[in-house]
Amino acid sequence: MTIKRYNILLDDKIIGTTEFEKADAPMGVVFGQIQFNNIISGYDFFKKYCLENNIELADDYPEDKLISTRTIDNLKVINENGVEIKGLGNQISGMDGDEFEITIEGVAYPFFEDEFPHHVKEYNDQFKESE
């Protein structure tokens, strides 16, 4: 299987990529680790952006440099064909010195199944009887 890489854009500027390596297929949720482009501290970057743009933080632990955002409207994720992965909401969470993750919730079917067939297959396979 070819691994797809998705560009993460904030205010139409690429800030990193993800492979959306995890999912909750029935809920239409995909999430994956962020590989940042030229961002040293994910915590500082998102804290500043959220404060400047009145975006609510779900969690903020400055002493640990750990942060979790609510939905950022100007955050987009684009596949290799330039198609946006749209959902009902998104979230960025992570900690400097560890990893940051992006989540997109409520991606509609049949788009979810077309874009992430491997996640749907993995989910369905867990219900097949072993022989």
pLDDT in tens, 29-79: 999 999 999 999 999 999 999 999 999 999 999 999 999 999 999 999 999
The answer to whether 89 and 35 have CB atoms below 8 angstroms apart is no
| Strand partners for 107 | none
pLDDT band at 3 (very low <50, low <70, confident <90, very high): confident
Nearest to 63 by CA among 93, 92, 95: 95
Q: Would the CA dihedral through 89, 22, 5, 42 be positive or negative? A: positive
Token output for 43: 């915590």
pLDDT over 60 (residue 131): no
Question: What is the pTM for the complete model shown?
Answer: 0.93
pLDDT over 80 (residue 22): yes
106: left (phi over 0), alpha (psi -120 to 50) or beta: left
Tell me the C-alpha distance between 21 and 49, whole Å: 26
pLDDT over 70 (residue 130): no
